[in-house]
Amino acid sequence: MTVIVTGGAGFIGSNFIFHMLSAHPEDRIVCADKLTYAGNLSTLRPVMEESSFRFVKLDICDRAGVYALFEEEKPDAVVNFAAESHVDRSIEDPGVFLRTNIIGTGVLMDACREFGIGRFHQVGTDEVYGDLPLDRSDLLFTEETPLRASSPYSASKAGADLLVMAYHRTYGLPVTLSRCSNNYGPYQFPEKLIPLMIANCLNDKPLPVYGEGKNVRDWLYVEDHCRAVDLVLRKGREGECYNIGGHNEMHNIDIVKLICAELGKPESLITFVTDRKGHDQRYAIDPAKIRRELGWTPETGFQDGLRKTIRWYLDNRSWWEEIISGEYQSYYQRMYGGR
């Protein structure tokens, strides 16, 4: 089949493309990406020349451009990773989040209706459920947990999720939706916790931990997420949502200390800075449905995954050093200067 993967020059989308090209060599993968600050064409260099792969620079909000691509490629499926994805940036400037995450998703689904599609898969996040209290480890997010987004980012993703389900009910569009917990692994933009801390450690820079570092995130190695999305795409039931996570809750501070230990850097680099506005306390996914219905389980444990990730950032310094030498500098100054 021909699969359009949007946002494939970003972190999870690129890992998904690598997974698809190796797991399903019979499929054709068309990556459509606007190449925002978070998109990096060099990430896709290893597959650029493959005959079953095509890259198209495209904004998912560009209706004419999206329709032209559908007309040309006649895709069997679309997997939508394209999004503005960083919570702190959404607090600074929500507008572009509403545009890409909601309007863009709508444009893609309109094209699916216009040209026909076997499956539209929306890549969602656990952040749409809001947060859980730190002292209630018995509570987990299930697919039935009400949406209660906290940030402009998560509200825009919740809006997209609602639109996806509405297109299924109203127009019978064959959709699926997955909501994953925090990912980590190769090619993650160094504005996110784990790669930011690795890069700062390697440069002996302060490690800015928000608040007291007690917030909890539920971490999943990116390849496990990619396998789960692939499974939902092929075997998931139409109109259904699947939570994806590996029961791996960690306090932020413990992750930062682990990174220091792995890199042999002193914990004195840790600096507690002003907390994020509206900072979600705890995320924790119940992945029982995807395990039961599709037989998915995570394969990479956290210690192993973190080691592999650190190794990757050590072996691919030029990838992230190029990023942090550009526009990132002014972002970093805006976000952390005087915090």
Q: List the structure tokens of 122.
A: 């929306």
According to the binding rule CB under 6 A, does residue 183 interact with ligand NAD? yes
Applying CB under 6 A, the site for ligand NAD has a residue count of: 30
Angle (CA) 85 91 96, round 5°: 55
Determine which residue in the list 30, 31, 38, 196 makes contact with ligand NAD, applying CB under 6 A: 38
User: Is 126 a known active-site residue?
Assistant: yes
List the interface residues with ligand TDX, window 202-261 (CB under 6 A).
Answer: 208-210, 215, 217, 252
According to the binding rule CB under 6 A, does residue 192 interact with ligand TDX? yes
Site string for ligand TDX, 65-104 (x = CB under 6 A): --------------------xxx-----------------
List, in sequence order, every residue forming a beta bridge with 242; answer none if it has no partner. 178
Cβ-closest position to ligand TDX: 125
- Catalytic residue, candidates 33, 84, 127, 223: 127
Contact of residue 87 among ligand NAD, ligand TDX, none (CB under 5-8 Å per partner type) = ligand TDX
Q: Which distant-in-sequence residues (6+ apart) come within 8 Å of 122 by Cβ?
A: 80, 105, 160, 161, 164, 175, 176, 177, 178
> For residue 28, which of 65, 3, 61, 63 has the smallest C-alpha distance?
3
Q: What is the DSSP string of 75-138?
A: -SEEEE--S---HHHHHH--HHHIIIIIIIHHHHHHHHHHH--SEEEEEEEGGGG--B-TT-TT
User: Is 127 a known active-site residue?
Assistant: yes
Q: Which residue has the tokens 């079953």?
A: 52
Angle (CA) 127 243 102, round 5°: 50
> What is the rounded distance in angstroms from the CA atom of residue 321 to the CA atom of residue 326?
9
Site string for ligand NAD, 93-132 (x = CB under 6 A): -------x---x------------------x-x-------
According to the binding rule CB under 6 A, does residue 61 interact with ligand NAD? yes
Q: List the structure tokens of 162.
A: 């609602």
User: Is 88 a known active-site residue?
Assistant: no
Determine which residue in the list 20, 29, 34, 253 makes contact with ligand NAD, applying CB under 6 A: 34
According to the binding rule CB under 6 A, does residue 39 interact with ligand NAD? yes
φ, ψ for residue 3, nearest 5 deg = -120, 125
Beta carbon nearer to ligand NAD, 101 or 200: 101
Contact of residue 115 among ligand NAD, ligand TDX, none (CB under 5-8 Å per partner type) = none
List the interface residues with ligand NAD, window 63-92 (CB under 6 A).
Answer: 81-85
Beta carbon nearer to ligand NAD, 55 or 189: 189
Distances (CA, A) of 146 to 6, 40, 126, 141: 27, 35, 11, 9
> What is the rounded distance in angstroms from the CA atom of residue 6 to the CA atom of residue 25?
19
Which residues are part of the catalytic machinery? 126-127, 153
Q: Which residues bind ligand TDX (CB under 6 A)?
A: 85-87, 125, 127, 182, 192-193, 196, 208-210, 215, 217, 252, 276
